[in-house]
Amino acid sequence: MAAVVVNAPVVERQTLSGDCFLLRLGAPEVARQVSPGQFVMLRLARHSPVLLSRPLSVSDVGGRGESPEWLDLLIQVRREGTQVLADLAPGEEVQVTGPLGFGFTVVAGATAHVCIGGGVGVAPFPLLVRAIRRHDEATPTYCLVGGPNADRLLLIEGLSALGARVLTATEDGSAGLRGTVIDLLPQVEKEVGLLGRVAFYVAGPVGLLEKCAQAAKERGARCQLSMEARMGCGTGLCQGCVVKVRNPGGEGWHYRRVCYEGPVMWAEDVIFG
């Protein structure tokens, strides 16, 4: 279905850490269409000093009945644009365009589904875990979550409640394993066996994506990456969010737009550096 543009009220704002929060929007027209890994472009419905919309992964959807009525967005305050969103109060309206892009594909026949996220990269995982459990409830689902410290291990209680086995790592050792989220892979391997038939679903900074792509290649595992890039339009028109990908057959390369042909791409297609 095509993306829609709607004005949506803020239903709830929940602070998760000092600079990260969840924004719940009453946008059923978007929530009913979205797939895990897709995103929306968000801006104030009223006049704003910030010109461009902000791209945000849809974290989860829900409602009182079977049909979703709201969607959640995980936001980290970084500059003026996200600060404007952080200052919103329930009842205020934002303009939502979406859902946009291509999301994750649940890999059939995997021996385990392993979601790997650093920081706010965990944003799409609640909706993804729901989809995985719906399609393949019998197969173990892991969420490996990393951050600089315990305060930045986001959404872990909710992911556990959805049925995922949550493992954590922090750089300062304040929670979980001391190290990076990649350092959790040996524990997964110990629990499920060799990772050659495991499916990786990765979101986070570029360095994490590259390391996970390499780890998957070394093990022969399927791996999908939610690519990060600065976006101007979110619809492919400005072509400001391109990444290098291999041509079919492996000879040469071309550019692919993260917003339009992504943001989720197969790791073997992406050229880093």
Task: Give the per-residue pLDDT at 46.
Answer: 81
8 pLDDT higher than 90: yes
Residue, of 249 and 5, whose pLDDT is higher: 5
Dihedral (Cα; 151, 153, 158, 159), 10-degree rounding? -170
Measured distance CA(176)–CA(57) in Å, rounded: 26
The H-assigned helical ranges of the chain are 28-31, 80-86, 125-135, 156-161, 185-192, 206-219
Reported as a single tens digit per residue, the pLDDT across 20-43 is: 999 999 999 999 999 999 999 999
pTM: 0.96
- Is the pLDDT confidence value at 52 over 80? no
The predicted-structure confidence for 161-177, as pLDDT tens digits, reads as follows 999 999 999 999 999 99
The pLDDT tens digits for 62-111 are 998 889 999 999 999 988 888 989 899 999 999 999 999 999 999 999 99
The answer, yes or no, to whether residue 48 has pLDDT greater than 80, is: no
Average pLDDT in the 182-209 region?
Answer: 96
Q: Domain spanning 113-226 has what CATH number?
A: 3.40.50.80
Q: What is the pLDDT of residue 235?
A: 87
CA distances from 171 to 17, 121, 180 (A): 17, 16, 6
Q: H/E element holding 249?
A: none
CATH number among 3.40.190.10, 1.25.50.10, 3.50.50.60, 2.40.30.10, domain 4-100: 2.40.30.10
Contact in structure between 250 and 89 (CB atoms under 8 Å):
no
Nearest by Cα to 204 from 269, 153, 136: 153
Check residue 81 and give its pLDDT.
82
Q: 45 is written with which tokens?
A: 């419905």
Residue 148 has pLDDT above 70, yes or no: yes
CATH 2.40.30.10 residue window(s) in the chain: 4-100
Q: Residues of CATH 3.40.50.80 domain(s) within the chain?
A: 113-226
Tokens of 239: 């072509």
Residue entry with tokens 């304040």: 174
Q: pLDDT value at position 50?
A: 66
Encoding tokens for residue 145?
């979550």
Question: By the 8 A CB rule, do 91 and 10 touch?
Answer: yes
Structure tokens at 271: 């050229």
DSSP secondary structure letters along the chain: ---EEEEEEEEEEEE-SSSEEEEEE--HHHHTT--TT-EEEEEESS--S--S-EEEEEEEEE-SSSS--EEEEEEE--SHHHHHHHT--TT-EEEEEEEESB---PPTT-S-EEEEEEGGGGTTHHHHHHHHHHH-TTS-EEEEEEESSGGG--SHHHHHHTT-EEEEEETTSSSSEES-GGGGHHHHHHHH--GGGPEEEEES-HHHHHHHHHHHHHHT-EEEEE-----SSSSSSS--SEEEEEPTTSSSEEEEETTTT-BEEEGGGB---
Q: Is the pLDDT of residue 18 over 90?
A: no
Q: For residue 160, is pLDDT > 90?
A: yes
Q: What pLDDT is stored for residue 1 in this prediction?
A: 62
**pLDDT-derived band at 53, boundaries 50, 70, 90:** confident
Q: How far apart are CA 59 and CA 96, in angstroms?
A: 14
Parallel/antiparallel/unpaired status of strands 20-25 and 39-44: unpaired
Q: What is the average pLDDT across 110-125?
A: 97
**Percent over 90 (pLDDT), the chain:** 84
Which two three-digit tokens encode residue 91? 């009842």
Dihedral sign from CA coordinates of 27, 236, 2, 61: negative
How confident is the model at residue 62, as a pLDDT? 96
